[in-house]
Each structure stands twice: as structure tokens, then as C-alpha cells.
Amino acid sequence: MALIGKPNTTPYQPAYEVTAVKIADLIEEKALKPGDRLPTEQQLSVLLGVSRTVIREAIKVLVAKGQVLTRKGSGMYVAHTTPSIATASIHISMSTDPEHVSKLFDFRVILETNSVRMAARLITHRDVRALEEFVERNTLAAEQVNLSDFHDSDVAFHTGLAKATQNPFLIASIYEIMQLQDRTLNIVLAGTTPGSLREASLQHKTILEAIKDGHEDDAAEAMLLHLRTLIENYELEVRRRLQNTDMIQ
């Protein structure tokens, strides 16, 4: 006899993610090559039985994943780019599922708390000067609420910390995880940065000061606090936007 009220363990997927997978499957089924034009929004809407709004959101996912490119006034095309080895096997839905966002940052915690410990031991004067410049740019961008400059200096700071470890594998891993985080931003948050820019820039300063002083534990604790703050802000914003998207389906 079937159990009544058995919980549904199927992972939640917004309609636009499901649609993005279907469009990707369509590209494969029709053997479309890089540069081939995709059906229009209207045609995809009819073909897949969803609204044009859902189609637009699905296309954003595919663009962020490097599978589709759009040309204003021309249409949508199969992209020429190929996902990197480090991210190619990650399912398209992982970037926007709140649980996977959390796991993404858990991975960053493992990588970056260890990287700052190494940086505190191995950092050079040249590394310090570069990181101080990144922090200065980041602080100015936060004060001016310049999201583009803040993002660029934030990425430069975190990858700069990785470079200070002098470990090519750690450098490559942190670079890839930052790229994957960018995909999350592009897909879900439309390139915005949730939370306080000023708070994040101050945390960058604290991390750098601990590294300059050679205090491994303090540097790791400061990085952990920084990433926990990011996790909380991202998860709140991801959930809010997913709820808003579901309301327009």
C-alpha cells in the first residue's frame, strides 16, 4: 500500500532552469553547431509551452554558462566557447539552487581559509603592494557604490591572495571557483552584489592586515567571517529572486 503524505525529495527547480535544460537538449538533438541560429523567443515559447518571460530567463542561464550568445537585433546563437574542465561537469541547475550556492561557498571556505594561512607565511613585499592597491580600489568603489569596480577589485584581491601562496593548483582552483560564483551572479542576481559593499571592503582590509603581520589564525578567522557574511547575503538574495520569478510564471 502506498504511503500517504510521503515527502517529495525531488530537488526544486524553477521553471526557467528546467526550460534552460530543454533548450540545451534541443541544441544537441538538432545537432546545432557553434554559430547556428536558435529559434526566436516566440518560437521557443510555443515549442516548449512556457511564457516568453521564462524563455528570456532560461536564455540568461545559457548565456552565463557559455552555451548561447545573443546579438542585439539579430537573435540568439549557439556559442563557440567551451566550459572549462573544472566547471564543465557541473549541472546547469546547480548555480541557482540555494543548497548548491551554500555548498559552493563551503568549498570557498576550505580553499580560502587555507590559502590565507599559506599567504601569511609566504607573502612577498611585491604581493603586499599589489594587494594594498586592490584593497584601496575596493574601498573607493564601495564608497562610490560602483558595482563594476567593486567586483573587479574583489576578484583581483581574492586571486591576489591565492597568488601569494605560490601554489599553482590553489591559484587555479580559487580562480575557477570565482568564475563559478560569477555565473551565479549573472544568472540569479543580474550582476549585482547583495549586502554591504563597505562591510566587505573593511573585511578585506582586516584579512590583509593579519596576513601582513604573519598571523595565520587571525587571517583564517577573518576570511571565514568574510565568506560567512557573503553566504548569508547571497542565500537571502537568491531565495528572494527565485520567489519573484515564480510569481511571474
Domain locations in the chain as residue ranges: 15-82, 86-247
State the DSSP H helix or E strand holding residue 78, giving kind and residue range, or none if neither: strand 75-78
Residue 66's DSSP bridge partners are none
Closest by CA to 207, choosing from 119, 141, 103, is 119
pLDDT the model gives residue 188:
52
Instruction: Walk along the chain (249 residues) in steps of 10 and give the mean pLDDT of each run.
Output: 44 78 88 91 94 90 81 87 46 55 84 96 95 96 89 91 91 82 61 71 96 97 93 73 58
Q: What is the pLDDT of residue 208?
A: 98
Rounded to an integer, what distance in angstroms lies between the CA atom of residue 81 and that of residue 102?
A: 27
- Looking at the DSSP bridge assignments, the partners of residue 70 are 76
- pLDDT reported for residue 196: 80
Q: Determine the topology of domain 86-247 in CATH.
A: Four Helix Bundle (Hemerythrin (Met), subunit A) (1.20.120)
Q: Bin 39: left if φ > 0, else alpha if -120 < ψ < 50, else beta.
A: beta
Contact 207, 116 (CB under 8 A): yes
Yes or no: say if 121 and 214 are a contact pair by the CB < 8 Å rule. yes
Domain 15-82 identical in fold to domain 86-247: no
- Name the DSSP letter for residue 97: -
C-alpha cell at 99: 543548497
CATH number of 15-82: 1.10.10.10
Query: Which one, of 191, 189, 194, 158, lies nearest residue 176 by Cα?
Result: 158
Q: Is the dihedral of CA 42, 44, 47, 51 positive or negative?
A: negative
